[in-house]
Chain A
């Protein structure tokens, strides 16, 4: 259900401390999301490509994931230039494409691709459980982290339960259609899933209590300190500053077109 195709690698990125990777992925993403300058955005995208390359991500998998936002972006390219107000860039009959609309679409496309690639390179290259621990070590609230980890653990179990129930429905001849019967059956299916999930939560809680759980989670990992992490942190800070300077027109200013 959830694949982690990038998590098992042995590139230089994989060997970096998950805390550093998570932190800089978030930092860069926020910065990129707020950019207005095209040269800064272009540079950010370049950085994202570079990170993905150094994480040795499988290009096919990367494209598969990018394609999930491309559909959305395509929709934006169709709608925004036509509906956004501003100076006309191109006209065909009663249709007008505005300069500002095209700008905005281009910005959204560049930014979202860059952010997605940064996350694929830095965050998707660790397993979710590692991410959870990294978040905890970055002082995320423990409850949120464990909510994330428990969700990840049991989503498969709930998924299997869904499959079983759905199979049971199908072998008795259920075929979804637009009818009250179908809606009712789906409502039962999801209702049953909720009941089972909450029953299971109860049993898991009991199992935890029996093993002495008292509301505190302990973590087993140690993240190994390495000078490479600090080189990475330094590089990331330089990139961060570089993008910031470009954004403010202090480095390679690009004339608005």
Chain B
């Protein structure tokens, strides 16, 4: 555990869902460093979400070791500090927002961490302000739009002051404006993290390295390089937008 620049280390980790034939995550080894902002592009069912759940301790590996912050994590107890330091944004924000009002939801994490009510409200308000959601505090969570829900879900994670972010398809169902806002926020935070997404534009904007994942493995040797290239313009000289 000498190397303090390594946050997460996985060695030969496999996981199979009960009743399934194939390993969802198969003999996966990787290290994730303090400064890494990694993007994962992968087909459906390639084990990305499973990877996140393994890191957070929501499921326990059948084989292999996981080390987080230099400590081996095995039991439920080991994951409690991990969950405070690593924030996972779910695919579906409706799963993450369960309190009646926005402020209660954002304050839920800090309160669980043992903060007093005043501290929790204070930190929640600051988080909402950082995200430009200061007027949302008393809104009812289920009445928010899809984009608003995603940003509030992000707020509920940021209010726990994580040092690593795991984002599971954060742009699903967002319009381009909210997407741009999300890119802005993530780059402003510039926390180390792993982002799963299908959208090249988004993933290149918020990460430094992009890998693919297939059959429960990350193809670490094949980093994707997204580069500019010349191509024939279908639009000719007509004014147009690159979306």
- B interface SS class: helix
A190, CB-defined interface residue at 8 Å: no
Q: Is the CB of B141 within 8 A of A153?
A: yes
Q: A212-B80, A212-B84 are in contact. Are A203 and B90 (CB under 8 A)?
A: yes
Chain B residues lying within 8 Å of A128, measured Cβ to Cβ, are 100
What is the total number of residues of chain A having a CB less than 8 Å from a CB of chain B? 26
Q: Is the CB of A212 within 8 A of B142?
A: no
Q: Is the CB of A212 within 8 A of B141?
A: no
Which of the candidate stretches A180-188, A213-221, A239-247 sits at the interface with the other chain?
A: A213-221
Query: Smallest Cβ distance from B128 to chain A, in angstroms?
Result: 14
Which of the candidate stretches B20-28, B112-120, B169-177, B208-216 sits at the interface with the other chain?
A: B112-120
Distance in angstroms between the alpha carbons of A197 and B99 in the assembled complex = 17
Distance in angstroms between the alpha carbons of A206 and B89 in the assembled complex = 12
Q: A149-B100, A210-B88 are in contact. Are A218 and B142 (CB under 8 A)?
A: no
Residue from B98, B99, B140, B157 whose CB has the most chain A CB atoms within 10 Å: B98
Chain A residues lying within 8 Å of B14, measured Cβ to Cβ, are none
Chain A residues lying within 8 Å of B157, measured Cβ to Cβ, are 211
Q: Is the CB of B103 within 8 A of A220?
A: yes
A208, CB-defined interface residue at 8 Å: yes
A95, CB-defined interface residue at 8 Å: no
Q: Which of B113-168 contact A (CB under 8 A)?
A: 113, 117, 120-121, 140-142, 156-157, 160
Q: Is the CB of B109 within 8 A of A212?
A: yes
Chain A, Cβ-Cβ closest to B156? A211
Q: Is the CB of B100 within 8 A of A211?
A: no
Q: Is the CB of A210 within 8 A of B58?
A: yes
Distance in angstroms between the alpha carbons of A162 and B120 in the assembled complex = 36
- Contact partner of B160 (CB less than 8 A), chosen from A132, A152, A153, A211, is A211
Query: Smallest Cβ distance from A211 to chain B, in angstroms?
Result: 4
* Binary contact track A203-236/B, C-beta < 8 Å → 1, others 0: 1101111111110101010000000000000000
Query: Smallest Cβ distance from B95 to chain A, in angstroms?
Result: 4
Distance in angstroms between the alpha carbons of A218 and B140 in the assembled complex = 18
Q: Is the CB of A150 within 8 A of B98?
A: yes
A200, CB-defined interface residue at 8 Å: yes
* Binary contact track B75-86/A, C-beta < 8 Å → 1, others 0: 000001001100
B15, CB-defined interface residue at 8 Å: no
Q: Is the CB of B100 within 8 A of A207?
A: no
Q: Is the CB of A207 within 8 A of B98?
A: yes
Q: A213-B112, A220-B107 are in contact. Are A206 and B100 (CB under 8 A)?
A: no
Chain A residues lying within 8 Å of B65, measured Cβ to Cβ, are none
Q: Is the CB of B100 within 8 A of A157?
A: no
Q: Is the CB of A210 within 8 A of B98?
A: no
Distance in angstroms between the alpha carbons of A213 and B83 in the assembled complex = 11
What is the total number of residues of chain B having a CB less than 8 Å from a CB of chain A? 33
Query: Smallest Cβ distance from A210 to chain B, in angstroms?
Result: 5
Chain A residues lying within 8 Å of B92, measured Cβ to Cβ, are 203
Q: Is the CB of A129 within 8 A of B101?
A: yes
Chain A residues lying within 8 Å of B95, measured Cβ to Cβ, are 200, 203-204, 206-207
Chain B residues lying within 8 Å of A90, measured Cβ to Cβ, are none
Distance in angstroms between the alpha carbons of A220 and B141 in the assembled complex = 16
Q: Is the CB of B112 within 8 A of A214?
A: yes
Chain A residues lying within 8 Å of B103, measured Cβ to Cβ, are 220
Q: A207-B96, A220-B120, A220-B121 are in contact. Are A156 and B142 (CB under 8 A)?
A: yes
A109, CB-defined interface residue at 8 Å: no
- Contact partner of A208 (CB less than 8 A), chosen from B98, B113, B121, B140, is B98
Q: Is the CB of A132 within 8 A of B100?
A: yes
Q: Is the CB of B100 within 8 A of A127?
A: yes
Query: Smallest Cβ distance from B197 to chain A, in angstroms?
Result: 19
Chain A, Cβ-Cβ closest to B100? A129
- Contact partner of A157 (CB less than 8 A), chosen from B58, B90, B94, B140, is B94
Distance in angstroms between the alpha carbons of A116 and B103 in the assembled complex = 32
Task: Spell out A's residues near B (CB within 8 Å).
Answer: 127-129, 132, 149-150, 152-154, 156-157, 200, 203-204, 206-214, 216, 218, 220
List 14 extra interface pairs beyond A127-B100, A154-B98, CB under 8 A. Answer: A129-B101, A150-B98, A153-B98, A153-B99, A204-B95, A204-B96, A207-B96, A207-B98, A211-B156, A212-B80, A212-B83, A212-B84, A212-B112, A214-B112
State the 4 A-B residue pairs at the shortest beta-carbon distance, nearest first. A129-B100, A212-B112, A211-B109, A203-B95
